[in-house]
Amino acid sequence: MLFSSGQLASLGDTSYAELKQQEKVSSDANVVRYVQCITDDLIAVLPSPWRDKQWEVTVFESEQVNAFALPGENIGVYTGLLAVTENAHQLAAVIGHEIGHVIADHGNERMSNEMAVGLGLQLGAILAADRLDSNTTAIAMAALGVGAQVGILLPYSRVHESESDQLGMDYMAAAGYQPAEAANLWRNMANLGGNGTPEFLSTHPSPQSRIAAIEAYAPRLQSLYEQARAARRTPICSL
């Protein structure tokens, strides 16, 4: 890995601030409370030191079917996603998946790889700059996982996606959410295909292969899920 956690957090914070300036932040208190409630449940069961960090969640008012998490403990959820997630379990699957990318340091690995290819010089300039201009901010955002918002698509690898799916489901089960609902989420995503590819799908692999992998992994988490329920970690988040 070529980048320190401090460098990535700085880039994540800058990109997050840029998005909050560019995008409309939701003022719907019920929606914000709902998203925050689910996120808090997941954060509470993250491994140390992640559960002790100060995560920030922003809900963006947009028809985009999308969400992201950035280094620096920054999470964004678009209200369009709420129309696709049928319940809190499915929204937890998305948020847990995005948190998984951050905890697994996938942004660092992807940026390090990009140093050897097309974006290398630009990423090097980003790290050397005292202040980011709009172009370098867009490149940093793309490398960290929010490229769809700035028109630069850099999909995570299938290995990264599979790992984040499993991490997200781990967090779901530990928090008392039903991990099998992750498969239903992807079915919902796939059903949107006829109306145009959702932003979340544009940088993710085939829903069919993902559903199969999720359904194979979910039974392994039944014990963890039952332990969470026995410990009275029962999600109560609702709209």
pTM assigned to the model: 0.85
Q: What is the pLDDT of residue 73?
A: 97
Q: What is the pLDDT of residue 199?
A: 53
CA angle 109, 122, 18 (to 5 degrees): 85
Q: Exposed/middle/buried for 6, CB within 10 Å: 0-12, 13-18, 19+?
A: exposed
Q: What is the pLDDT of residue 159?
A: 84
Q: Domain limits of the chain? A: 5-106+155-230
Q: Where are the alpha helices (DSSP H) in the chain?
A: 5-22, 29-43, 88-103, 106-114, 120-128, 134-141, 158-174, 181-191, 199-202, 207-217, 222-230
Identify the CA nearest to 163 among candidates 224, 225, 98.
98
Q: What is the pLDDT of residue 210?
A: 87
Per-residue pLDDT tens, the chain, 239 aa: give them: 667 888 889 888 988 998 999 999 999 999 999 999 999 999 999 999 999 999 999 999 999 999 999 999 999 999 999 999 999 999 999 999 999 999 999 887 877 666 555 555 455 555 555 554 555 556 566 666 665 444 444 566 778 889 999 999 999 999 999 999 999 999 998 888 654 455 565 555 667 888 999 999 999 999 999 999 999 999 999 99
Nearest-Å Rg of the Cα atoms of the chain is 17
Our answer to whether residue 98 is catalytic in this structure is: yes
Q: What is the pLDDT of residue 195?
A: 47
Three-state secondary-structure class, residue 187: helix
Q: What is the pLDDT of residue 18?
A: 87
Report yes or no: 155 and 213 within 8 Å, Cβ to Cβ.
no
Q: Which of 98, 114, 161, 181 is catalytic?
A: 98
